Amino acid sequence: MVTSPISTSNKHLLPEAHEQAQSQLRSEAILRTVIESEPECIKLLDRNGTLLQMNPAGLAMIEADSFATVQGQCIYPLIDPEHRLAFEQLTAKVFEGDSGSLIFKITGFKGTGRWLETRAVPLRDGPEILALLSITRDITEHKQAQQALAESEERFRATFEQAAVGLAHIGLEGQWLMVNQKLCDIIGYTREELLTLTFQQITHPEDLAADLVNVQRLLSGEVSTFAMEKRYFHKHGTAIWINLTGSLVRGEFGEPKYFIAVIEDITKRKYAEQALRESEAFNRQILDSSGDCIKVLDAEGRLVYLNQSGQCLLEIDNQLDVIGKRWTDFWYSEEHRLACEAVTVALAGGQGRFTGFCPTAKGTPRWWDVQINPMEGEDASRRLVSISRDITESKLAEENLRQVTDALELRVVERTADLLDANQQLQLELVERLRAEDALERLGRQNELILNAAGEGIVGLDLQGRVTFINPTGARVLGYTVDELLGRPLHKVTHRSQTVQVIYDLTSYCIYASLQDGKVRSLVDDVFIRKDDVRFPVEYVSTPILEKDQTVGAVITFRDVTERQVVQRLKDEFISVVSHELRTPLTSIRGALGILAGGVLGPLPEKGQRMLDIAVNNTDRLVRLINDILDIERMESGKATLHKQTCDTMSLVHQSLDVMRPLAEQAGVSLSVDCPSCKLLADPDRVIQTLTNLLSNAIKFSPRGGAVSVRVECHDAHLLVQVDDEGRGIPADKLESIFERFGQVDATDSRNRGGTGLGLAICRSIVQQHGGRIWAESTGHGSTFSFTLPILEYTHSLVCFA
Amino acid sequence: MPSKRVLVVDDEADIREVIQMCLELVEGWDVLLAASGNEGLMSAQSEQPDAVLLDVMMPEMDGVATFKQLQANRETRQIPVLLLTAKVQPTDRQRFAELGVAGVITKPFDPLTLTAQIKALLQW
């Protein structure tokens, strides 16, 4: 609707101006149309703010249904009180002839708030100002957007500042553009200081490369964000571990603008992690460096962990083969029961412990001392720790010792019997030689003392298994007197109450088996019952007593193995007794017999001389036997060390031949040698001992007129020495066993040929200590003993040590 | 060769007697006997023998201690000493040699060659 003042002015137009008026009317119509359809508010106000005219867009803004309802009203009440004065001032200004603009807020008739921007100009008619003409735009949306932006920026700033993590904007060159207080706190710089630095300057050099790679990946668009753990240097110089999350902000056209970094201080966590790792590594190291087999079992007894030593000891290639398996299933028979018991005890909070035999995964026999404890810690009842110690060596050592002791005792008894025989003959013929006889008796007493003082039970059995002899120790261990046991069957005495649980098959009982087939047997895990019904674990060896190849009984040596340590002490004492106490009377015996036999006190009858020679020879053999036993004990216990030096083969062989020549001449055996000169690094005394032992055997077993030859071949890395004889040869099944202690082909050899039964065992020890090998071959007519020694040439060792 | 005087020091009476008989009968030497290290020291000083045969394993003062005392005494220092021992380890031999004894005779010994051994060691 067009304003009336305009039309009013038109009423006064003159006719000559009609055309002009017509034209004006047309332009007025155009103007009206424009105003009506204008999307912005166009209004006229008088100087008091009364609405004179308003187009539909304006009416919509103020929420008026029609112009009629608002015509002549003052619009000031619609204006927000805050802006009302400014609007009134603008109005006044316009009526003074100026123009102006204002942003203000109104509330429409229907209550809607709007932000408006208005431009007001005076509407003049000549000098008179008729009205205020304003064009007003609704800027509510713009205002809201602006406000939202401001709010968002405020929120961002607050978030940025109050964040619990370090936040930063970083320029493309790495300079810090904006940082929050938390970040400053983390790295110790003030905001101002930090803004002069780049992230490269405070990054740990070891972490920089990785960081730069990540930055490149962001820039290239390969990733939109990355996270990494890295170190910054604190202002004080210490390294701080942080977790960095980086992303890149790009501009409207995709161009990189700056990086956003989220920085979290993880130093404490890192240290905690490291400490945990170290502690774990430390524990693992302790577990792995332990020589024992350490296992962790779950409540069902299944293996959940096995340390490295355990894997080695058990010869397990792959841990996974055993993890998850029931530990008790690794044990058999009696040990299985003991293992189950131990697990039960440990699950109840106690310590389970037992000693038992369990072969490795590859079948190597091993004995173990096993302890099982509940694991300490939160889950105490859920886990068990089992620590098994490999006690195979000490078991074997005990076994060896027992065999040596048994054999020695048997031989001492035999030798003593020889000496006593000779002694009786002497008594008949040489009554005046009382001193010598005295000495022999002393030796007999000494041996009896040793037998009685032995820490093991020694029982003699007849073919029916009845006790024919028992030493006091044996009787004491069983809780009887010697007399109570004589004549009673050992099996019934020692196993009497077991018949309820286990029906022993007499034929499978090892002592009786020994009696039947004449073989030495040992059992390490039997249980005997004392007179007072107390059961105790024993080990025993059953050695048949042979007379002319017929078994006439057996000697059983048994021991209460709960006193294992006593054995070690006894062993040392025994060695010391042998080396001194036994030699001292032997010195007297040998000296006295030597003087008599040498005829220094005058000639003797022929038979008397013969008897004395026997006594001298047997004394010498006893001395050799003691020496050999000491020798092999020292070598096998590692007490004897090799004194290696550069030697020449020719010299070694000729020295050995020189020692053996008298024996060979006496036996009518010829010696020949084929030996090149060759240097080697070895203990000359020990090599000569080996060679003389082999030569002595070869000579002893050669018939008169036979030949013994020594052949030496020098190869690249080793030396081969062979001793050939023309003796009776060695059965194929004895070629190995002759190197065992007392492993002679024929048990009577030691008596008939003057050997000790230990020579070849000593040779084997010496050769093995040198890193060589020894073996025997036989064709039935004659034997060849060969051994190798590594040639560790002197020049080689010089190069090595240079 | 003029007759020699040899002092035998051993705690074992039987061994003393065997050695005495052996040295007297085989070589005709004069033999002095002592049953302990202390007796041996006194006898060596007062009798000035040509040599001492000294047992190593004796109670109270052993052979090595006795030998050291003999060496410490100006009047017995020059008397050659042979040790009698049942110990045959190479390391023992070396230790005895380092002490400065004239030789070592291993027990048990062959009585018929004992004097030969003594003569060889002492270069009589």
Question: End-to-end alpha-carbon separation of chain B, Å?
Answer: 8
- Least reliable range by pLDDT among A86-90, A205-209, A222-226, B1-5: B1-5
- Least reliable range by pLDDT among A215-219, A447-451, A679-683: A447-451
> Average pLDDT of A6-30?
65
Cβ partners under 8 Å of residue A732, min gap 6: A778
The predicted pLDDT at position A672 comes to 92
- Least reliable range by pLDDT among A409-413, A430-434, A492-496: A430-434
pLDDT-based confidence at residue A576 (cuts at 50, 70, 90): low
Q: Tell me the pairing of strands A707-714 and A670-674.
A: parallel
Low-confidence ranges of chain B (pLDDT < 50): none
Quote the CA–CA distance of B43 and B54 in Å, as a whole number.
12
> Average pLDDT of A360-365?
80
pLDDT-based confidence at residue A690 (cuts at 50, 70, 90): very high
Cβ within 8 Å, pair A595-B110: no
Nearest to A1, CA basis, from A51, A53, A71, A37: A53
Chain B CA closest to residue A642: B90
The predicted pLDDT at position A565 comes to 53
Chain B CA closest to residue A592: B18
The predicted pLDDT at position A6 comes to 43
Quote the CA–CA distance of B73 and B76 in Å, as a whole number.
5
The predicted pLDDT at position B5 comes to 95
Residues of A in contact with B109 (CB under 8 A): 587, 590-591
pLDDT-based confidence at residue A391 (cuts at 50, 70, 90): confident
Residues of A in contact with B15 (CB under 8 A): 584, 587-588, 591
Give the SS3 label for residue A192.
Answer: helix
- Residue whose pair of structure tokens reads 């000559």 in the numeric block: A16
Cβ within 8 Å, pair B25-A601: yes
> Average pLDDT of A371-397?
75
The predicted pLDDT at position A303 comes to 86
Token pair for residue B90?
A: 């190479």
Quote the CA–CA distance of B108 and A508 in Å, as a whole number.
47
Candidates B14, B15, B22; nearest CB to A595: B22
Residue ranges of chain A whose CB lies within 8 Å of a chain B CB: 439, 579-580, 583-592, 594-595, 598, 600-601, 619, 623, 627, 634, 643, 685
Percent of chain A with pLDDT strictly greater than 70: 85
The predicted pLDDT at position A505 comes to 45
Higher pLDDT, A89 or A757: A89
* A594/chain B closest Cα distance in angstroms: 6
The predicted pLDDT at position B44 comes to 95
Quote the CA–CA distance of A300 and A325 in Å, as a whole number.
10
The predicted pLDDT at position A733 comes to 84
Nearest to B34, CA basis, from B70, B1, B2: B70
ipTM score of complex? 0.82
pLDDT in tens, A134-144: 999 888 888 88
The predicted pLDDT at position A67 comes to 87
The predicted pLDDT at position A155 comes to 83
What pTM did the predictor assign?
0.38
Chain B CA closest to residue A685: B90
Quote the CA–CA distance of A656 and A650 in Å, as a whole number.
10
pLDDT in tens, A720-745: 999 999 888 888 888 888 888 777 66
Give the SS3 label for residue A698.
Answer: helix
Residue A446: is its pLDDT beyond 70?
Answer: no
- Residue whose pair of structure tokens reads 């009526």 in the numeric block: A95
Residues of B in contact with A584 (CB under 8 A): 12, 15, 57, 86, 107
The predicted pLDDT at position A3 comes to 42
Chain A CA closest to residue B107: A587
Cβ within 8 Å, pair B112-A595: yes
- Least reliable range by pLDDT among A50-54, A124-128, B31-35: A124-128
The predicted pLDDT at position A444 comes to 61
Average per-residue pLDDT in chain A?
81
Candidates B88, B108, B110; nearest CB to A586: B108
Q: Tell me the pairing of strands A113-125 and A128-138.
A: antiparallel
Cβ within 8 Å, pair A588-B12: yes
Residue A8: is its pLDDT beyond 50?
Answer: no
pLDDT-based confidence at residue A162 (cuts at 50, 70, 90): confident
Cβ within 8 Å, pair B108-A587: yes
- Least reliable range by pLDDT among A306-320, A586-600, A658-672: A306-320
Give the SS3 label for residue A317.
Answer: coil
Quote the CA–CA distance of A351 and A770 in Å, as a whole number.
45
Residue of A584, A620, A625, A631 to mutate, testing the B interface (most B Cβ within 10 Å of its Cβ): A584
> Average pLDDT of A72-95?
90
